[in-house]
Structure 1
Amino acid sequence: MRDHEPLPGPAGPRLTTKEAAELLGVKPETVYAYVSRGQLGSRRAPGGRGSTFDAKEVEALARRNRRAGDGTANSGGELSVRTRITLIGSDRYYFRGVDATELAARHSYEEVAEWLWTGRLRPGITFTAPGSVVTAARRAVDALPEHSAPTDRLRVAAVAAAAADPLRFDLSEEAVLGTARALIPTLVAALPPTRHDHREGGPLAHRLWTRLSGRPADEACLRVLDTALALLIDHDLAASTLAVRVAASARAHAYAAVSAGLGVIEGPLHGAASGLAHKLLLDVLDQGDAAPVIADELRSGRRIPGLGHRLYPGEDPRARALFALLEDIPKAAPALAAARDIVDTTARHAPLHANVDLALAVLTASCGMPATAGETIFAVARTAGWIAHALEEYGERPLRMRPSGHYVGPRPPQPLPE
């Protein structure tokens, strides 16, 4: 999608260039500068004279600018970074201007990753890793305690893979892409298999399945897993992605940048959210009714996982795409019904819709996977997006991701402490 085309979403009130400039407190030329930087969408006015702008989008940009002016831009989640990778609209999102859900429906995870990295599709591509790197990663992971979480294993595997690569400090695009195509399958191969006949070749989703479920996979299940990986590749500047860009801004190599992302996703509000939704779903399946389970969650002061997303007023488009595929899997029917029960029960008092964590929970709970499987899927998938953002950041001015602190402590000089 080109910069001058409108942002996706339902039609709303439109402003002229003059009206947008007045609301933003800038000159008309600056409005078009916002458009060229991807911070504002525009639409050609009827008759071809001038442009119009979505009023809500202009108001949101004005709020961000005001926050930047009073020193709180970095504390309110409104840090703005120019990017050409992902655009999020009101009910859908786009990878390099192409609808992400349509890409995921028609192409494999590896193909979508290539599109995100290069803007080119490579039909049939699969990622492979050198045997020596996989061996190093497995040895490091095998040395961890048995109870280690999947993200612990993935972080250790990334460090081991970096140590085995003497060219890791080469930050050229070709070298980083080579690193990405080897690192992602290394992360999967380093996870302990759940089946003796685990795969070492073929599409990444097939290899990952044998690390997540002890059940044999049919084509429908593998398609859902592959689609989930493709859908989760990127989602703009999520917390982990911002950490990756900070690392890349300091010119950390790609392995280190990915490690930064892996360190952030363990939080319950990020990668681990699907595990909480998985456990909630199992409780509903066990009791046969969402009402008492939801009541217990709220009584304990916990928020209901798997519901709502700050970027989507309606249903998360990633959840919508996965639910549609899960409908074709008979054994997923009970978990789907339980998910609907959760949404319907909470909708009585809060207009919350399903997000991708609840859809991942349906996938993992109905396919014999542990509660941590959703986090593993998320981490493996998002590695490709982190690489895309690292590549983009390597092309920017070094150390630009260095915000200034807004000091609110005691004014100096203070006396030395006793």
Structure 2
Amino acid sequence: MSDQPAAAESRRLTTREAADRLGVKPETVYAYVSRGQLGSRRAPGGRGSTFDAAEVEALAARGARREPQPSGADLTFRTGVTLIDPDTDRYYYRGVDATELAGRYGYEEVAEWLWSGTLRPGVRFTAPPEALAAGRRAVGALPAHSTAMDRLRAAAVAASAADPLRFDLSTDAVLGTARALIPTLVGSLPVKGAPGQNSTAGEASTDTADSKDSADGADSAGLAPRLWRRLTAQAPDDGSLAVLEAALVLLIDHDLAASTLATRVAASARAHPYAVVSAGLGALEGPLHGAASGLAHRMLAEVLERGGAAPVVADHLRAGRRVPGLGHRLYRGEDPRAAALFALLDRVPAAGPALAAARDVVTTTARHTELHANVDLALAVLSVSSGMRAEAGEAVFAVARTAGWIAHALEEYTERPLRLRPSGQYNGPRPPKALPLP
């Protein structure tokens, strides 16, 4: 890849070795990577990252022993929402293991606890009638081929317009908005296979979206069953609903992903919660972020159609494409979210074929390089086995992550306004220049 001697190429440090040399924590090493101060390369076998020793030495010589402090031009700043531990391949919400939370509590319970610090067993979020009606009208006006992300973004804007108090950024007001916005987003989506369905879209009209929902969008069974009806016409069993519920909890937050950073920037400018969530939805729709589960869905469907992973994996590698659903830059081994969901999917008989296909992909790819399953592959198993569209995983991701975006907005509202204002490094023509002519 370069003309450097092989000996220089072999001088690679592990994350721990780089952290020790710099005198910082391992997570700070990744912070240097995210800011472009340090390059990284996946270790052989996909277990963690490695760093060029000379580059680490140069950074240390520049005084990188100090822990990076937040500033307007710094993408590393304090947050008490999520900690990702690269040494143990675990992650924590407010210091509590996220996978344990997903095994004990539902999405609304964990979201409420994350926001307020209070655990309210059985809490249910309710969509206000005005916001729900506005969201359904906006979604119903979209073209039939619109995606779930199109509909969620439209619903967020419509709900915002229906709320005259949206500019109140007090903690209580933001919490009230959050509890109303999430069920509004879900309730605005059309129900799959309901009476009065559109023959082109294969979905119910949003005006008569769901006879099982009450007029205000509440449901005693919780958010997961409501979301399920909008992802597939297939009737859920308890095991499948448990997988969806756990996925919602596990995807609430994952530190400063691109969409979360976008929401923090919006909140720094004191955008209201609806606009904050809209910023997150916009970033999430990028093909390198939220759409990853759709790629994994299509791959698993092809594996099932062709009877094995080998030809599908070969086609991806031959075309120079990454195999979807594998590897994560923050974990040396298997993504803990994937591990938790696979354990639940093992209990769902209908998920058996798709789960076997996913494991075949992992095993086949391991012959070339050891990459572990990530959460996108687990979401793909759920969506393929439940008759959902390829975009379903992205919709689950978006609904779940809304709670995390609100948690980060609550933090950012307490910080100095507009602190996330980096300075550009201009590299254009030097002035003065003559006015342009037609």
Q: What range describes the TM-score normalised by the shorter chain of this pair? A: 0.7 to 0.9
Q: Which residue of 1 aligns with 2:40?
A: none
- 1:275 deviates by 0.5
Please give the alpha-carbon distance, in whole angstroms, between the structure 2 residues aligned to 1:186 and 1:323.
29
Deviations 1:56-82 (A, max 9, x none): 99x99x95996999xxx99xx982021
Deviations 1:370-407 (A, max 9, x none): 11110000000000000001111000000011111122
Unaligned runs of 5+ in 1: 1-10, 25-30, 40-55
- 1:195 deviates by 4.0
Q: Which residue of 2 aligns with 1:79?
A: 75
Describe how 1:18-417 pairs up with structure 2 within 5 A: 23-24=22-23, 79-90=75-86, 91-196=89-194, 199-200=212-213, 201-202=219-220, 203-417=222-436
Shift in CA distance, 408/144, structure 1 to aligned 2, threshold 3 Å:
same
- 1:413 deviates by 4.0
- 1:188 deviates by 0.4
Deviations 1:314-371 (A, max 9, x none): 1000000000000000111111110011111111122211000000000110111111
Q: Aligned AA for 1:352?
A: L
Indicate if the aligned counterparts of 2:22 and 2:64 stay in contact, CA closer than 8 A. no
Please give the alpha-carbon distance, in whole angstroms, between the structure 2 residues aligned to 1:296 and 1:213.
29
Indicate if the aligned counterparts of 1:134 and 1:189 stay in contact, CA closer than 8 A. yes
Shift in CA distance, 63/259, structure 1 to aligned 2, threshold 3 Å:
farther
SS of the residue aligned with 1:88? Answer: strand
Please give the alpha-carbon distance, in whole angstroms, between the structure 2 residues aligned to 1:102 and 1:195.
34
Indicate if the aligned counterparts of 1:198 and 1:210 stay in contact, CA closer than 8 A. no
Q: Which residue of 1 aligns with 2:206?
A: none
Indicate if the aligned counterparts of 1:187 and 1:380 stay in contact, CA closer than 8 A. yes
Please give the alpha-carbon distance, in whole angstroms, between the structure 1 residues aligned to 2:90 and 2:172.
31
SS of the residue aligned with 1:258? Answer: helix
Indicate if the aligned counterparts of 2:326 and 2:372 stay in contact, CA closer than 8 A. yes
- 1:86 deviates by 0.4
Q: Aligned AA for 1:247?
A: A
Please give the alpha-carbon distance, in whole angstroms, between the structure 2 residues aligned to 1:324 and 1:134.
35
TM-score for both structures, normalised by structure 2: 0.79
Shift in CA distance, 378/64, structure 1 to aligned 2, threshold 3 Å:
farther
- 1:187 deviates by 0.3
Indicate if the aligned counterparts of 1:96 and 1:119 stay in contact, CA closer than 8 A. no
Indicate if the aligned counterparts of 1:198 and 1:207 stay in contact, CA closer than 8 A. no
- 1:410 deviates by 3.6
Shift in CA distance, 189/347, structure 1 to aligned 2, threshold 3 Å:
same
SS of the residue aligned with 2:230? Answer: helix
Indicate if the aligned counterparts of 1:64 and 1:78 stay in contact, CA closer than 8 A. no
- 1:299 deviates by 2.1
Q: CA RMSD in A?
A: 3.1
- 1:14 deviates by 12
Shift in CA distance, 189/64, structure 1 to aligned 2, threshold 3 Å:
farther
- 1:297 deviates by 1.6
Q: Aligned AA for 1:232?
A: L
Shift in CA distance, 217/195, structure 1 to aligned 2, threshold 3 Å:
same
Shift in CA distance, 105/214, structure 1 to aligned 2, threshold 3 Å:
same
- 1:416 deviates by 4.7
- RCO comparison, higher one (Cα < 8 Å, 6+): 2
- 1:128 deviates by 0.5
Number of aligned residues: 373
- 1:301 deviates by 2.5
Q: Which moved more, 1:180-189 or 1:407-416?
A: 407-416
Deviations 1:92-137 (A, max 9, x none): 1000000001001100000110121122211110101111211111
Shift in CA distance, 394/224, structure 1 to aligned 2, threshold 3 Å:
same
Please give the alpha-carbon distance, in whole angstroms, between the structure 2 residues aligned to 1:235 and 1:173.
22
- 1:293 deviates by 0.7
Shift in CA distance, 78/279, structure 1 to aligned 2, threshold 3 Å:
farther
Q: Aligned AA for 1:378?
A: F
